[in-house]
Amino acid sequence: MIRTDAPMADGRVLRYYDETPGRVPPPDPRDLPAVEHGSVMRFDVLTGEWVTIAAHRMNRTHMPPADQCPLCPSRPGGEPSEIPADAYDVVVFDNRFPSFGETMTEVPAEVDGNPLWPQRPATGHCEVMCFTSDHEAAFSSLSLERVRTVIDVWADRTAELSATEGIEQVFPFENRGREIGVSLQHPHGQIFGYPYVTPRTAQLLTRAGAHRQRTGRDLMEDVLTGERKAGHRVVIDGEHWTAFVPAAARWPVEVHLVPHRAVPDLAALSDEERTELAVVYRDLLGRVERYFGPEGADPPYIAAWHQAPVHTGRDLTRLHLQLFSLRRAPGKLKYLAGSESGMAAWLGDASPERIAERLREVGA
């Protein structure tokens, strides 16, 4: 993998990650204004969580036709895209409509001058990552070489963002499908550099800390050992990775992929672990696509890479993937209605054991 950085017309950075040498980045010919964003974070005193308000994202690009896709290579004679090259392997660039910005305008320390509601600029980092220049591709259709390149890019971005001042957690993820809410159909993901430890991770660290104090053991290790021992929710059990449906799965289709070795993030994976991950991860995405059969093709899913925070709790949790779909049957979605949205009390639509059985059935 060869990385080449190039400036974009508005001062953002475009990073080419090529599988062969020889990249000479062409200049960005567009006349773009500087990126402006005024995101703020306000503290919710009722939950103890930060809420980011990014009103400028209302104006972001939404579902353009394929011939105007900003993530495709620029076409001769056409409107320039975000990538001025005529082809690429993998690219990562700073989001033009970021939820978190590197430089922000100062805001009052309190909303309405009331100490009940602290607020601060939403400083952080948001990147767009294109997995291929092929607009019609899906992640599961990529070559193993390309999947391995994507993994190496995730590791590179994790390492660089983790070393950036003010970043507390790095989150690579892919949203796929209109039902999820994607605004661009081109195969891509995003990488967030949060300025705080996210609520889900904070809750996991609390649970893991209590488990260690009570038992002296690692919570994620005990979960992994328990699932492998039980076996009936395991989907794939490799040399370095195990994929299983969690015993208390929330989503109609949900699978976790956990490394056997306790590593905090993607950057810490060995060469052998990355090689096997390319095979297992592509396999899992294909199984989710086939889960509902031909009538349920092209399912919406979220692939979320949970990594340990940059500065705290790195010994309490480990890297793991949470892959899930909100489709409960062909043409039917699981809506987070009253109980889930209002009370955060989840009601499952499928037996975890049956989910795992089905994912095993649809293996290639």
> What whole-number distance in Å separates Cα of residue 287 and Cα of residue 364?
8
Positive or negative: CA dihedral 209, 214, 216, 220: negative
Structure tokens at 181: 């809410």
Q: Provide the pairing of β-strand 2-7 with 119-121.
A: unpaired
In one-letter notation, the amino acid at residue 254 is E
| Strands of the chain, DSSP E | 2-7, 13-18, 40-44, 49-53, 90-94, 119-121, 125-130, 169-176, 188-194, 234-237, 241-244, 253-259, 301-306, 320-325, 327-329, 332-333
Catalytic residue among 37, 125, 188, 320, which? 188
> What whole-number distance in Å separates Cα of residue 121 and Cα of residue 54?
10
> What whole-number distance in Å separates Cα of residue 87 and Cα of residue 93?
15
- 188 as an active site residue: the answer is yes
Q: CB within 8 A of 160, min separation 6: which ones?
A: none
Q: Please report, in range form, the residues annotated as the binding site.
A: 69, 72, 135, 186
Structure tokens at 208: 């893991």
> What whole-number distance in Å separates Cα of residue 87 and Cα of residue 81?
12
> What whole-number distance in Å separates Cα of residue 79 and Cα of residue 337?
42
Indicate which residues carry an active-site annotation: 188
